[in-house]
Structure 1
Amino acid sequence: MPDFSEAIAHAQAHEVPWPRDPAADPDRWGVHQADPPPWNRLRGPVHPRGPVSGVIRIGGREVAAWGEPDRADLTYSVAKTYLALLAGLAHARGLLPDPQQPIAQLLPGIGFDDAHNRTITWAHMLEQTSEWQGTCLGMPDTVEHNRRVSHDPKPPQGAKGEPRRLQAPGSYWEYNDVRINQLSLALLHLYRRPLPEVFEEAVLRPLGGGEGFRWEGYDDAWVEVGGLRVQSVPGGSHWGGGVSISARDQARIGQLLLDGGMHAGQRLLPAEWIARMQQPCAIAPFYGWLAWLNRDGAMFADASRESWFLVGAGGHYTWIDPAHQAVVVVRWLDPAHSPGFVSRVARALR
């Protein structure tokens, strides 16, 4: 059995430099401070976090755990990939027949109808090339123009939040949380049910998870769907809210992806959808469908080229490595030290 003690010690020695209680030092918690005012504030709930924690599974079996693996903590943009899973589930149920179809054709009247937005497809939203423009839940897409994120090799064209000239949908890649929230809103209109309820019922509970799971929206993000007042949830915790989940549940989800959507003989997600999530975007080959890829080793040089990652601010990584039948979850790791952690795990796997 591989010895992961060195990797675990490295992670525990390099906790992200955020306070454990956001109320203790709000200026050092989260990523909203980098936004132009008045958007540089939290709009949804946040809560204290635990220590650096993680889980490693090989061949479907847990072989290591550290920190507080059962504690449900915020996981920031790892939640984006959970939206991709909900889109895949909608596809399997016939609610989203064709990812290449413009969203406006299926869901008129929710923000995709104008001349620029009406050609945007589900695939554009999933690969972050939509160039959607507008205001979602009170926030304009321009707040996220020129966003700089780790693992994006493209330099920004201007200052964060400085409006830039939009390109045709599908022709420009940009990491944009407002557009992700617009995707979440579209999925809510597809399901006509709260997305957290669907995710827990269709994914987490069948995996044996869900303890402490929450997926919360902004305080003012309530919309009417089918005559019901429902909260639309964000695909991250950039402005608060988002997914709180345990490391063990994240590892369960990673295992489901590694296994192509099957769990205990039951198909929970379509295999072809999970395979498509791992296909490189034509204009951003480091990215699939709301997931990060390592095809050329640029993300993590020591991880296998088949590896793919769910990544969230604050040092959250779910690493799926088909080459070694491994799922690795680490949380609250200082991102500057993530290559050292990945290298140590990769060495142990080899």
Structure 2
Amino acid sequence: MKLILMVLFCGLALAPVDAQTPYYFPASNGVWLQKDTKDLNISNDQLNMAVDFAKANEYSGSRDLRIAILEGFKSEPYHDVLGPTKKRGGPAGMILKNGFVIKSWGDTQRVDMTFSVTKSFLSTMAGLAVDQGLISKVDDRVSSYVWDGTFDGEHNNKITWRHLLQQTSDWSGEIWGGKDWADRPPKEGGVDDWKYRTLQEPGTVMEYNDVRVNVLAYALTHVWRKPMPMVLKDEIMDRIGASSTWRWYGYENAWTEIDGIQMKSVTGGGHSGGGLFINTEDMARFGLLFLNDGKWKDEQLISKAWIKEAMTPSVPNTNYGFMWWLNSKGDRNWKQLSENIYYAAGFGGNFIVVDKEHDLVVVTRWLEPSKIEEFMVKVNNALY
């Protein structure tokens, strides 16, 4: 008997051990389990200080987001609101540890605009296209897939999916009434200077530009042959138990015909209206999916290989991957925090922060954008 027990004991000792912390995944009924911070070796007082800080530092722009948009982008020539907007709520957020809610504040079920957080959802649609073989590889030229003239010309013909995802394409043209050179133009120089600028070689210069992001959304719509909201719903949101309240909009005139069917091409942001309208809890679910390397419970929804590539710094900007911001060393580095953190960020202080080292997902809504680093340091200080 002693010999048998010793053999069994040795067998258990030699069995492979999964070092990854098992995560909790909330059901689709809207109930999300909470855990006491003391059970997770987290200072409740320090965490409360972080939450109080978020509440006290609300985004300073108007709660009427149409007004905030027009004010925020008034320096752009010809700027107008072309898609839906929505008056926003107050500060809200959630902090997850191992998938459990350890803090939440505000109305986490209120649907609000999320602006450029939409870009991280859009890049995921590209990842799914690669995973499913609709796009062979990200270094393929987009003109091989979309040949309707959008990528014609000596310059635009060079553009690859990687260039669009890293915002290094310098795509030149107009889509849905938006001119690429009129989107976030440099402060110096006049309109003619911007219009007739020298085009940069694709892949060499990163320029944050919603018009070119909308070109990516358009190209992906043609590759999938169906609207991006349908892809997001079927491939991701339904499978992670998201609510039925989120919406993804395009501009009023952003219609394209595919296979004889008129369909809307959505936007990758909201600075002219449109984009993803979503609640805090659904954003947290999306963050949790990425925290777990694209796997929800036992189902791999996004490949680990795609997430790894999406979080690889681009050459022109070490703080930017495939439409996710990276906390690597660079101009946007949060110096007191892990360099492995990555996050989605949108106008008005909308963030989904993924901290793999501490098994954290942090979502904030309407936090003054300049305060996000200080807020995350306060969250980090609560970890013993």
Give the TM interval when normalised to the shorter protein. over 0.9
- The correspondence for 1:60, drawn from 99, 110, 117, is 99
Q: Tell me what 2:72 maps to.
A: 31
Q: Tell me what 1:153 maps to.
A: none
- TM-score in terms of structure 2 length: 0.84
- The correspondence for 1:192, drawn from 202, 206, 225, is 225
What is the 5 A alignment of 1:1-350? Answer: 1=37, 2=42, 3=44, 4-22=47-65, 26=67, 31-36=72-77, 38=78, 40-144=79-183, 146=185, 162-163=194-195, 164-296=197-329, 298-350=332-384
Q: Tell me what 1:150 maps to.
A: none
Distance 1:276 1:136 in 2: 28
Distance 1:27 1:263 in 2: 36
Contact 1:31–1:313, Cα closer than 8 Å, also in 2: no
Label 1:166 to 1:28 Cα distance change in 2 as closer, same or farther (>3 A): closer
Contact 1:314–1:335, Cα closer than 8 Å, also in 2: yes
Distance 1:346 1:257 in 2: 19
SS in structure 2 of the partner of residue 45 of structure 1: coil
Distance 2:194 2:377 in 1: 37
Contact 1:73–1:245, Cα closer than 8 Å, also in 2: yes
SS in structure 1 of the partner of residue 212 of structure 2: helix
- Bigger drift between 102-111 and 8-17 goes to 102-111
Whichever residue aligns with residue 343 of structure 1, its letter is V
Runs of 4+ residues over 6 Å off in structure 1: none
Label 1:317 to 1:348 Cα distance change in 2 as closer, same or farther (>3 A): same
Contact 2:254–2:265, Cα closer than 8 Å, also in 1: yes
Distance 1:28 1:59 in 2: 36
Shift of 1:87: 0.4
- 1:31-78, Cα deviation, whole Å (9 max, x unpaired): 332311x2x220011011111000111112121111011111100000
Structure 2: tracts of 5 or more residues without a match: 1-36
Distance 2:68 2:124 in 1: 33
Distance 1:318 1:30 in 2: 25
Distance 1:28 1:167 in 2: 28
SS in structure 2 of the partner of residue 12 of structure 1: helix
Distance 2:230 2:200 in 1: 36
- TM-score in terms of structure 1 length: 0.92
What percentage of residue pairs aligned between the two structures are identical? 35
Shift of 1:296: 1.7
Whichever residue aligns with residue 225 of structure 1, its letter is I
Shift of 1:30: 6.2
Label 1:228 to 1:32 Cα distance change in 2 as closer, same or farther (>3 A): farther
Whichever residue aligns with residue 198 of structure 2, its letter is R
Matched residue count: 338
Shift of 1:247: 0.9
Shift of 1:170: 0.9
Distance 2:252 2:84 in 1: 8
- 1:201-254, Cα deviation, whole Å (9 max, x unpaired): 211111110331000111111111111111110001010011001111111111
Distance 1:157 1:286 in 2: 25
Shift of 1:302: 2.4
Shift of 1:108: 0.9
Contact 2:69–2:271, Cα closer than 8 Å, also in 1: no
- 1:241-285, Cα deviation, whole Å (9 max, x unpaired): 110011111111111111111001001111100111111101211
Q: Which has the larger radius of gyration?
A: 2
Distance 1:334 1:66 in 2: 16
SS in structure 1 of the partner of residue 74 of structure 2: helix
SS in structure 1 of the partner of residue 376 of structure 2: helix
- 1:55-105, Cα deviation, whole Å (9 max, x unpaired): 111112121111011111100000001111000111111111111000001
Distance 2:68 2:254 in 1: 24
Distance 1:318 1:101 in 2: 29
